[in-house]
């Protein structure tokens, strides 16, 4: 698989749907009155469904939740615990397009609970019209190497 294929999303037929969903989440549903940094996420379940999320802040900052974790919360609470890919789009609220936005460590740990080390995590940069202008794709093991996980406790 060459770079062009990877970044055009040719390897994943739901790539465009994930992109649209994450951008919509960021632009329309994100609740970020404190940081004004809006993030959307789209999580593809093995059931073929797309579970979406946005960041939802709180006046007590530590009580807020990130977009990625919202997507996982939605999926698990709807019966899906196995996943195929996660796509993230984030940027300051005054930007129409999104930047390459990496998941925070807390979100990586959430992913770790349910996904294997090869689970793909996609960050996209999009222009105001929703066209992807740049992207990065990582495996979970590349973003959270040497991780702590369920097998340490169970």
Identify the active-site residue in 4, 46, 68, 117: 68
Contact of 92 with 82, CB cutoff 8 Å: no
Question: Is 113 designated active site?
Answer: no
Closest to a second copy by CB, 2 or 60: 60
> Which residues on adjacent β-strands are paired with residue 51?
43
- We find the least distance from the C-beta atom of residue 153 to a second copy, in angstroms, to be 5
CB of 26 to a second copy, least distance (A): 11
Shortest distance in whole angstroms from residue 59 CB to a second copy: 5
CB-based contacts of 37, cutoff 8 Å, min separation 6: 55, 90, 91, 92, 93
Q: Contact, 134 vs 144, CB < 8 A?
A: no
State the minimum distance, in angstroms, from the CB of residue 42 to a second copy. Answer: 11
Q: Do residues 144 and 108 make contact, with C-beta atoms less than 8 angstroms apart? A: yes
Task: Considering the complex, state which of residue 6 and residue 13 has its C-beta at the smaller distance from a second copy.
Answer: 6
User: How much of the chain is helix, strand and coil, in % rounded to 5?
Assistant: 35, 30, 40
**Interface with a second copy (CB under 8 A):** 25, 28-29, 31, 33-35, 37, 52-54, 56-66, 69-74, 76-79, 81, 101-110, 112-113, 136, 138, 142-150, 152-154
- Rank residues 92 and 131 by Cβ distance to a second copy and give the closer one: 92
Strands 120-126 and 50-54: unpaired
Q: Which residues are catalytic?
A: 68
């Amino acid at each position: 698989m060459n770079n062009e294929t990877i970044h055009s999303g040719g390897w994943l037929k739901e790539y465009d749907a994930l992109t649209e969903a994450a951008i919509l989440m960021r632009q329309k549903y994100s609740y970020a009155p404190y940081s004004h940094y809006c993030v959307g996420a789209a999580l593809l379940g093995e059931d073929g469904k797309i579970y979406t999320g946005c960041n939802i802040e709180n006046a007590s900052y530590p009580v807020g939740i990130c977009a990625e974790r919202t997507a996982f919360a939605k999926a698990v609470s709807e019966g899906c615990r196995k996943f195929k890919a996660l796509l993230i789009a984030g940027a300051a609220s005054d930007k129409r397009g999104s930047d390459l936005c990496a998941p925070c460590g807390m979100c990586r740990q959430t992913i770790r609970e349910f996904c294997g080390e090869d689970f793909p995590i996609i960050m996209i940069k999009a222009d105001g019209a929703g066209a992807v202008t740049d992207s990065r794709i990582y495996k979970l093991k590349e973003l959270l190497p040497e991780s702590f996980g369920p097998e340490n406790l169970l």
